Structure 1
């Protein structure tokens, strides 16, 4: 969403019950004081991770976040790199919101970047990017002519084409370019989108169906700063978070329970997160972590109850694709690690 999505509040999906939260969890700050707002985060394994942010900044770590190699991508020092997808310590794709809408790729660890897609048209505004494997991925953009914009790649981000069968958008509905997680792809190829603004919905396309399915979300919406910002997928559980980033301490977040496709049922949690959340991530078994400008929250019962574990502002949290490393990132170049 074109408003500078400053993080977010929470909303979630439920499924089962699990143990209570103890005091063992901790979010440990690794570094800060960099002139960039980090929204993109991709954790490859327990050693390698990439981040992307405003003012053209990207960085990579090879030691689980202890140190980072920073750069401003040459020629793109004013770009808003709202999302990054990394496949290794050498190969990564970054996406820039705003004008121009831009996709760059590196295959040499960030030493050089190649332009793979560019649109000067101001109607194009990228919100999120996700891949189901190292070849097949999508970029979600704000609606154009009442259709969400979807770009598709089948060759690891080398080339991108606009998806003809794009989902419908309601008037005033859009997506939030806050953490790169309003778009998620499941391993079976299902596309999930959550939206906000005047309306807030979950939008789904399964690989065996050519018809998009839509469901209203019981999440605060009605203005450009409110709605669903992020979702996480784990088996049959779909947890959605969001809220109103303009009033980030408001605690009227909700949780939604997703039953087996195509049936969708949404349930409000018994205890919500402590305020607006912009990102949610599955950690392990019944455990999900969410974060936003109001702080970070944890559930150990698949979204039924939440507890705030830290009050520091972050924009995004992501877990390693292979391994257990969990990192968070936010404004002012802030990066942290989550310990459980």
Structure 2
């Protein structure tokens, strides 16, 4: 494992901007989009070597914490906070159209995922005892409440930290991880038309604790306590023999995002640094000490990027 991990590294591509980046979507080995605070969007068409930055006109104070891109022209972004916003571009970010707005302060959008180019979902914090789930069937043009929203326990919430507390495996399967007073995995199977709730062996209790991210294959979960980000106890778990198992030798502190790289290799990241596992989550090794919020792999290809505070963008090589 050590020899493999030593070959893996993260190179800082950009940094020094007064923005926080939490939205990241990697389309292929050339095209990627990021989104963040102060209404900021950026795109690359050369694998991260150069970036085209912009503030979305009319939304300069928005915090775009999640983004889903389909090409170098088409992308959907959501804004956390008030008002809750969803915008879409069809021309590479030159123009953005408002597709959803809610000024109710109870609405706080956390994450977004698409099953395909048409069907997508947005997760928001609980309202009236249920997690808010919005659904689109036309590529983000229109959004409506999901017909079956999951029950939320008292003091339970989701974290808009990396856009990966929600994963959409297909139009018939959704997976959510939560935190706060409880830490759970909520999975939805359209055939059964019900949500299955599973308690997770990760730190919880205070509002800053819990599960923050689940891998796209639903096998590795990371989180921790973002207010005490160097605490290593109970920050991750992995799926084994039909249940999520606590990791004894886990990542080095709080992790806000996790991504499957290939096979049993997963990359996780957070403010204390980034970590790698090559055995499906059983053991981890820190490979970088820089702070990032999110890591994502290309939907089609091998490009893996990271993004975080101060406009930092990193390239993971393996």
TM-score (norm 2): 0.97
Q: Which residue of 2 aligns with 1:41?
A: 24
1:68-79 maps to which residues of 2 (within 5 A)? 68-79=51-62
Residue 257 to residue 33, structure 1, CA distance change in 2 (3 Å) = closer
- For 1:22, what is the secondary structure of its paired residue? helix
RMSD: 1.4
Q: Give the drift of 1:297.
A: 0.2
Q: Contact 2:119–2:171 (CA<8 Å) still a contact in 1?
A: no
Structure 1 residue ranges without an equivalent (≥5): 1-17
Determine which of 145, 152, 156 is the counterpart of 2:128: 145
Q: Which residue of 2 aligns with 1:337?
A: 315
Q: Give the drift of 1:254.
A: 4.6
2-structure distance, mates of 1:138, 1:64? 27
Residue 39 to residue 254, structure 1, CA distance change in 2 (3 Å) = closer
Q: Give the drift of 1:166.
A: 0.2
1:188-199 maps to which residues of 2 (within 5 A)? 189-199=172-182
1-structure distance, mates of 2:280, 2:2? 10
Q: Which residue of 2 aligns with 1:292?
A: 270
Q: Give the drift of 1:19.
A: 8.3
Q: Give the drift of 1:188.
A: 6.3
2-structure distance, mates of 1:134, 1:72? 25
1-structure distance, mates of 2:168, 2:11? 29
Determine which of 266, 271, 287 is the counterpart of 2:249: 271
1-structure distance, mates of 2:126, 2:135? 16
Q: Which residue of 1 aligns with 2:293?
A: 315
> Which of structures 1 and 2 has the larger relative contact order (alpha carbons within 8 angstroms, sep 6+)?
1
1:253-272 maps to which residues of 2 (within 5 A)? 253-258=234-239, 264-272=242-250
Q: Contact 1:99–1:121 (CA<8 Å) still a contact in 2?
A: yes
- Aligned residue pairs total 318
Q: Does 1:246 align with 2:204?
A: no
Q: Give the drift of 1:189.
A: 3.0
Residue 326 to residue 84, structure 1, CA distance change in 2 (3 Å) = same
Q: Contact 1:226–1:244 (CA<8 Å) still a contact in 2?
A: yes
Structure 1 residue runs of 4+, over 4 Å off? none
Determine which of 73, 85, 92 is the counterpart of 1:90: 73
Residue 227 to residue 20, structure 1, CA distance change in 2 (3 Å) = farther
Segment of structure 1 superposing worse, 316-325 or 201-210? 201-210
Structure 2 residue ranges without an equivalent (≥5): none
Q: Contact 1:292–1:316 (CA<8 Å) still a contact in 2?
A: yes
Residue 168 to residue 20, structure 1, CA distance change in 2 (3 Å) = farther
Determine which of 176, 191, 195 is the counterpart of 1:208: 191
Q: Does 1:282 align with 2:263?
A: no
1:52-63 maps to which residues of 2 (within 5 A)? 52-63=35-46
Q: Which residue of 1 aligns with 2:302?
A: 324
Q: Which residue of 1 aligns with 2:280?
A: 302
Q: Contact 2:23–2:162 (CA<8 Å) still a contact in 1?
A: yes
2-structure distance, mates of 1:114, 1:132? 22
1-structure distance, mates of 2:4, 2:39? 38
Q: Contact 1:290–1:317 (CA<8 Å) still a contact in 2?
A: yes
Which structure shows the bigger proportion of residues in strand conformation?
2
Q: Give the drift of 1:20.
A: 6.4
1-structure distance, mates of 2:311, 2:140? 26
1-structure distance, mates of 2:5, 2:307? 23
Q: Contact 2:26–2:303 (CA<8 Å) still a contact in 1?
A: yes
- For 2:310, what is the secondary structure of its paired residue? helix
Determine which of 147, 153, 172 is the counterpart of 1:170: 153
